[in-house]
Amino acid sequence: MREKKRQLITIAAVGLLVIMLIALTVNVITIFRLKARQEELRKKLDELGLKAEQVDNELASRSDEDCIEKYAREKLGLTEDGEIVYTPK
């Protein structure tokens, strides 16, 4: 009877150990996947940060008075009072 009880406890312990190893393996795989995803997102965040910086710089340069005047002259054909515009034929 004791021998049978000991075998049952051993089988239960081995079964529990197998279940724990499977759970550990699944968790380790999940951790590696999440770290890879985190790295992807970190790179994307860096790219978006650079893009935002470029947009901020462009916005700042377009807010510059000289840039606005240049755009008004070249794209909109506006002039200051008293200026004569010559257009080549």
pLDDT tens for 22-70 read 999 999 999 999 999 999 999 999 999 999 999 998 888 877 888 888 8
Kindly report which listed range (19-23, 41-45, 73-77) carries the lowest average pLDDT score.
Answer: 73-77
Specify the pLDDT at position 78: 76
Residue environment code for 9-36, b if the CB has 16+ CB neighbours within 10 A, otherwise e: eeeeeeeeeeeeeeeeeeeeeeeeeeee
User: Residue ranges of the domains in the chain?
Assistant: 2-74
What 8-state DSSP symbol labels residue 76?
A: T
Dihedral sign (CA 64, 67, 69, 72): negative
